[in-house]
């Protein structure tokens, strides 16, 4: 065979691949576009909205508190308790009411307070996309039924929170180029200082968080590669869920867009206030941002510093990879955990307590995944399912390069290092 025909065949293959690539990308693009359009340009008519989602109308849209909205179960309060008038006053009160020395307002079988935190730009519920309105309504329903305390923090509320709890972080925080990074960090900080459950506004609780941890979740478990028994009897002080569960010795995980074979999600997490693993996460974050600052004379507000921060990929900087890497190093250091032992692929997906951190199987926070990329995820009706994640971030925006990267990894096994978010 001549050089030319080899070349021609190579070009033909490349051309076919490119056409397929463009078609697939285009179909994803147009589909996504419809979704965004439907969600953002046709907010529900008001009458429909107040009858479909009465709780968020009552407790969120009507909030007169700058910084967001909160709910404290009336039965937690005595008639003489002064009613809080700001988010911070409410947060302080809830911290007292859920103090472990004082209370039974905890998630069963844990030391985690019965509080839920969410965040969205504003409390004008009638401007929210349908999916988010319906999901937050579900949270409110669960909050009332449990009962538990609830906070919706808006952008002002997040700044008030930082001023109160971690003022030295404000400059770092304000320098971050992306809202998604700020939201990634806020969830860690709110759990670190107030404690409770954080859930993205596109998640829905399937079971009340009060019942997320049962006695059977606390059973000892064994790493069958090392035969080590993990039999911690410590009280549960943090809960994380597996987002991706892939065989570690294959390329499945990165072709699906994950950076770790066993990766944690951060669309939901829970902890007691003051959990040191969250402090550890923050220390690592400080050191990355301080490093950037040091390249620019300590000034994070220069255009060059902005550019450098902008270059960091959110998934790795503050997102699921950052959480996974930090929890992995924390638990390796603390109890010598072999991280990949957390997989549920060999034991039907058991909950695994490591030190005082409960790692839920993929079904915990990511039930009902499709056949492709199922990774052991059982249906949302399965008892192991605690919470569902709906939007997969599609409402957050759309980036052509990210979508191309996704198609390229999934179908061709290339583009491993393209941006994923």
Smallest gap from Cβ 46 to ligand NAG, in A, equals 5
Q: Which is nearer to ligand NAG, 101 or 215 (CB)?
A: 101
DSSP 8-state secondary structure symbol assigned to residue 65: -
233 lies in the site for ligand NAG, by CB under 6 A? yes
Q: Tell me, by CB under 6 A, how many residues bind ligand NAG.
A: 21
DSSP 8-state secondary structure symbol assigned to residue 197: E
Smallest gap from Cβ 47 to ligand NAG, in A, equals 8
For 401, other C-beta atoms within 10 Å of its C-beta total 11
Q: How far is CA 102 from the centre of its chain?
A: 29
Indicate which single residue of 86, 302, 329, 410 sits in contact with ligand NAG (rule: CB under 6 A): 302
Stretch that binds ligand NAG, among 108-116, 196-204, 297-305, 405-413 (CB under 6 A): 297-305
Ranges within 74-113 binding ligand NAG (CB under 6 A) = 96-97, 99, 101-102
Query: Rounded CA gap, 382 and 410, in Å?
Result: 28
For 291, other C-beta atoms within 10 Å of its C-beta total 10
Q: How many CA atoms lie within 13 A of 366 on its CB side?
A: 26
Smallest gap from Cβ 95 to ligand NAG, in A, equals 7
Q: What angle do CA 283, 112, 347 make, to 5 degrees?
A: 90
Look at residues 196, 165, 187 and name the one whose alpha carbon lies nearest to residue 97. 196
Q: Assign 72 to helix, strand or coil.
A: coil
What binding mask, one character per residue, do residues 248-287 give for ligand NAG by CB under 6 A, x or -? ----------------------------------------
121 lies in the site for ligand NAG, by CB under 6 A? no
DSSP 8-state secondary structure symbol assigned to residue 161: H
224 lies in the site for ligand NAG, by CB under 6 A? yes
Smallest gap from Cβ 61 to ligand NAG, in A, equals 4
For 286, other C-beta atoms within 10 Å of its C-beta total 13
Q: Which is nearer to ligand NAG, 300 or 407 (CB)?
A: 300
Q: Which is nearer to ligand NAG, 100 or 256 (CB)?
A: 100
293: left (phi over 0), alpha (psi -120 to 50) or beta: alpha
Q: Which is nearer to ligand NAG, 28 or 44 (CB)?
A: 44
Q: Which is nearer to ligand NAG, 206 or 337 (CB)?
A: 337
Look at residues 115, 106, 185 and name the one whose alpha carbon lies nearest to residue 152. 115
What binding mask, one character per residue, do residues 45-74 give for ligand NAG by CB under 6 A, x or -? -x--xx------x---x-------------
Residue 127's contacts (CB-CB under 8 Å, 6 or more residues apart) are 43
What binding mask, one character per residue, do residues 389-408 give for ligand NAG by CB under 6 A, x or -? --------------------
Query: Rounded CA gap, 88 and 53, in Å?
Result: 26
Query: Rounded CA gap, 237 and 104, in Å?
Result: 15
**Where does this chain bind ligand NAG (CB under 6 A)?**
46, 49-50, 57, 61, 96-97, 99, 101-102, 124, 126, 224-225, 229, 231, 233, 299, 301-302, 346
């Amino acid at each position: 065979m001549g050089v030319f025909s080899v070349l021609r065949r190579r070009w033909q293959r490349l051309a076919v691949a490119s056409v397929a690539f463009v078609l697939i990308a285009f179909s994803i693009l147009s589909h996504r576009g419809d979704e965004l359009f439907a969600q953002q340009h046709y907010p529900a008519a008001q009458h429909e909205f107040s009858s479909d989602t009465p709780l968020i109308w009552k407790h969120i849209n009507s909030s007169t508190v700058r910084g967001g909205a909160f709910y404290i179960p009336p039965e937690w309060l005595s008639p003489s308790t002064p009613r809080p008038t700001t988010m911070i006053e409410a947060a302080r009160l809830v911290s007292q009411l859920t103090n472990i020395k004082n209370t039974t307002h905890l998630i069963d079988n844990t030391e985690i307070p019965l509080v839920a935190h969410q965040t969205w730009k504003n409390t004008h519920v009638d401007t929210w996309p349908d999916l988010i309105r319906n999901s937050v309504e579900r949270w409110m329903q669960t909050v009332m039924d449990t009962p538990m305390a609830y906070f919706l923090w808006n952008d002002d509320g997040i700044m008030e929170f930082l001023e109160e709890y971690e003022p030295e972080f404000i400059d770092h925080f304000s320098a971050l180029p992306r809202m998604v990074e700020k939201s990634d960090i806020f969830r860690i900080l709110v759990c670190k200082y107030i404690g409770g459950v954080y859930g993205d506004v596109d998640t829905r609780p399937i079971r009340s968080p009060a019942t997320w941890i049962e006695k059977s979740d606390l059973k000892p478990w064994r790493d069958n590669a090392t035969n080590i028994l993990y039999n911690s009897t410590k009280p549960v002080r943090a809960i994380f869920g597996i987002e991706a569960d892939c065989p570690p010795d294959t390329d499945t995980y990165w072709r699906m867009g994950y950076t770790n074979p066993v990766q944690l999600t951060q669309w939901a997490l829970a902890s007691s206030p003051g959990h040191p693993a969250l402090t550890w996460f923050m220390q690592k974050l400080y050191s990355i941002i301080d490093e950037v600052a040091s390249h620019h004379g300590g000034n994070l507000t220069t255009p060059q510093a902005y550019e450098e921060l902008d270059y960091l990929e959110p998934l790795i900087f503050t997102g699921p990879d950052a959480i996974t890497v930090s929890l992995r190093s924390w638990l390796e250091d603390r109890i010598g955990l072999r991280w990949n032992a957390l997989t549920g692929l060999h034991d039907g997906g058991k909950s695994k307590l490591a030190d005082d951190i409960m790692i839920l199987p993929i079904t915990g926070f990511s039930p009902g995944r499709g056949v492709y990329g199922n990774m052991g995820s059982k249906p949302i009706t399965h008892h192991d399912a605690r919470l569902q994640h709906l939007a997969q971030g599609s409402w957050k925006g759309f980036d052509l390069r990210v979508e191309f990267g996704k198609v390229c990894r999934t179908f061709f096994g290339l583009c491993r290092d393209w941006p994923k978010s």
